[in-house]
Structure 1
Amino acid sequence: MTYPTEFPEPTLVPVNGVELEVFEAGAGHPIVLCHGWPEHAYSWRHQVPALVAAGYHVIVPNQRGYGNSSCPTEVTDYDIEHLTGDLVALLDHYGYEDATFVGHDWGAMVVWGLALLHPHRVNNIINLSLPYIERGEKPWIESMEQFLGGDYYFVHFNRQPGVADAVFDANTPQFLRNLFRKNEHPSTPQPGMAFINLAHSPTPLGDPLMPEADLAVFISAFTTTGFTPSVNWYRNLDRNWHHLAAANPVLPHPTLMLHGTRDAIPPSETLTDSVPNATVITLDSGHWIQQEQPAQTTQAILEWLAQQD
């Protein structure tokens, strides 16, 4: 794979029974950047050079199910214990006791889970888009189905396994081109499953998030792996709810939470109840914050990290 924007060369690193494709650069304090769905380590391309220049050892894995990392076939191999176990093993591989972890979207979910299950391996948390989700009394998919219905994508992925994956696989370029947009005008939700509708839509909304050459990296990666491995992360949400039952739900770690004003995921009104040392910054952005507002995202991260030293 040739990357149109300068990006480190990958290495395959054996961890936790799988291999992760890892992009690393720099030296100094370790910082691990965790992508979301349906993304790739390359989604952090704008942040890596600045973090390296600021004196960080930047470690950017394609997590299991993505890129050239291992794609196990068992659904249960993508639960929070496996995903956080990969990151712990990655720290062990590089000889670090702990690190700053940065997550976007599903990557943020994994970073929250890592801080819950392995709190001593995390020194700072920086999460984008997805706030801490309190565990609640009911498993998450059961609650979402009750309040958001069967067509909500989390629920659909679980209750109709394989249906959405097949549509994404059959329409990969169109789906990703339609998904990675910015400056979209609000529209009336259509009936049915939103992401399946998006994969079938011949006309993208808003403006392209990235140049075609960058988009080609994502299209190539998902054309190779298909979407089932990454969608399997969603199929473990209720299993994750059970895995986290014994964890202390309060995270004392210094935390930076970045939101986009036009993101469909709303900020948490109760974040500091569970994350008491959280700083919240809002940027003029949609969901793909670090790619849509790269300079502002990088500046916010570096300024906040400088205050933690």
Structure 2
Amino acid sequence: MTSFPKPTLIPVNGVELEVFEAGTGTPVVLCHGWPEHAYSWRHQLPALAAAGHHVIAPNQRGYGNSSRPSEVTAYDIAHLTGDLIALLDHYGYADATFVGHDWGAYVVWALARLHPARVNKVINLSLPYPDRAAMPSIDFMESVLGGDNYFVHFNRHPGVADALFEANTAHFLRNLYRTPASAIPLIDLATAELQPGEPVLTEPDLAVLVDAFTSSGFTGGINWYRNFDRNWDLLQHADPVVHQSTLMIYGDRDTIPKSPNLEDFVPGVDVISLDCGHWIQEERPDETTQAITKWLAQED
């Protein structure tokens, strides 16, 4: 198990974020996905610090020991991006490089659009720029993917998945953190037999996540999904183009497809693909770290 710095609770934007940091120099903010934790960046944090960066890895609201507001709307994209801007303000930074994986990438894409002056560079893993759908997201997803899709299920059946995951936390995470991803519905991973595929996490690393979600529960993170329609409204007037220099890192075996029109929305993008599934920085930690540090060195 890789050592990780001790956290600090930092008040921002009406909540407290549990923040792990290391190094000095130009700021780099690492934004985890679902159901993850700042610990998912344990391989990149020390390497980026050694490369001359002040690396800031928050547990975003709803995760770890960060605040978990009870209102679903407290997890919309305005709040999530507002937390990161307030974090910059706390440290006195005008801007930073933001790195996101999975849901963290969604937040970083939105941050670059809603607060472009505060985002120096963008590095996103797994989730390419999300094109704006012609209708609110959950309706669209249900029409295309059906009611069993977890995006739809989380919204149509509030509380059901939360309770199921919390009653089977270790088994659910052990089933989820595998590559290639299971073909069965995500909801079923909480109770299904152990799925085929290679484990992504060692047992000690998995234990860190199990402990974190046993303490925090899953509702905070799932509430991010319950704001997709609200986010669709909140982003409608933002400039759709991401103007910052951007690095997009794909996993060739990820279940999330690569974008066919990424350069239309992110004209300054460089693209790298790694031989892995969805959990890119976990499955290919050295390659991910090298890709990020090399790209940042070239861009600085």
TM-score with structure 2 setting the length: 0.98
Distance apart, 1:249 and its partner CA: 0.3
Specify the alignment match of 1:259 in structure 2.
Answer: 250
* Percent of pairs with identical residues: 67
**Structure 2 matches for 1:178-193, cutoff 5 A?**
178-182=175-179, 184=180, 189-190=183-184
The runs of 5 or more residues in structure 1 that have no matched partner are none
Alignment counterpart, residue 237 of structure 1, candidates 228, 232, 238:
228
Note if 1:102 corresponds to 2:99. yes
Specify the alignment match of 1:33 in structure 2.
Answer: 30
Distance apart, 1:164 and its partner CA: 1.0
- SS class of match (2:227): helix
* Distance in structure 2 (CA, Å) of the matches to 1:40 and 1:224: 13
* Distance in structure 1 (CA, Å) of the matches to 2:17 and 2:7: 10
**Structure 2 matches for 1:42-191, cutoff 5 A?**
42-182=39-179, 184=180, 189-190=183-184
- SS class of match (1:8): coil
Specify the alignment match of 2:284 in structure 1.
Answer: 293
Note if 1:197 corresponds to 2:194. no
Distance apart, 1:244 and its partner CA: 0.5
Distance apart, 1:301 and its partner CA: 0.6
The runs of 5 or more residues in structure 2 that have no matched partner are none
Distance apart, 1:210 and its partner CA: 1.6
* Distance in structure 2 (CA, Å) of the matches to 1:247 and 1:50: 34
Note if 1:218 corresponds to 2:215. no
Deviations 1:105-145, CA, capped at 9 Å, x for gaps: 00000001111110110010000000001113211111111
Specify the alignment match of 1:275 in structure 2.
Answer: 266
* Distance in structure 2 (CA, Å) of the matches to 1:144 and 1:211: 34
* Distance in structure 1 (CA, Å) of the matches to 2:194 and 2:294: 39
Deviations 1:35-92, CA, capped at 9 Å, x for gaps: 0000000000000111011000000000000000000000000000000000000000
* Distance in structure 1 (CA, Å) of the matches to 2:131 and 2:39: 30
Specify the alignment match of 1:247 in structure 2.
Answer: 238
Alignment RMSD, CA only? 1.0
Distance apart, 1:203 and its partner CA: 1.7
* Distance in structure 1 (CA, Å) of the matches to 2:160 and 2:65: 24
Distance apart, 1:204 and its partner CA: 3.0
* Distance in structure 2 (CA, Å) of the matches to 1:230 and 1:71: 9
* Distance in structure 2 (CA, Å) of the matches to 1:40 and 1:59: 13
* Distance in structure 2 (CA, Å) of the matches to 1:136 and 1:225: 32
* Distance in structure 2 (CA, Å) of the matches to 1:249 and 1:111: 13
**Runs of 4+, deviation exceeding 6 Å:** none
- SS class of match (2:226): helix
TM-score with structure 1 setting the length: 0.95
Distance apart, 1:195 and its partner CA: 1.5
Specify the alignment match of 2:5 in structure 1.
Answer: 8
Specify the alignment match of 2:198 in structure 1.
Answer: 207
* Distance in structure 2 (CA, Å) of the matches to 1:89 and 1:99: 12
* Distance in structure 2 (CA, Å) of the matches to 1:291 and 1:70: 25
Count the aligned residue pairs. Answer: 300
After TM superposition, the structure 1 stretch with the greater mean CA deviation from structure 2, 201-210 or 296-305, is: 201-210
* Distance in structure 1 (CA, Å) of the matches to 2:51 and 2:22: 12
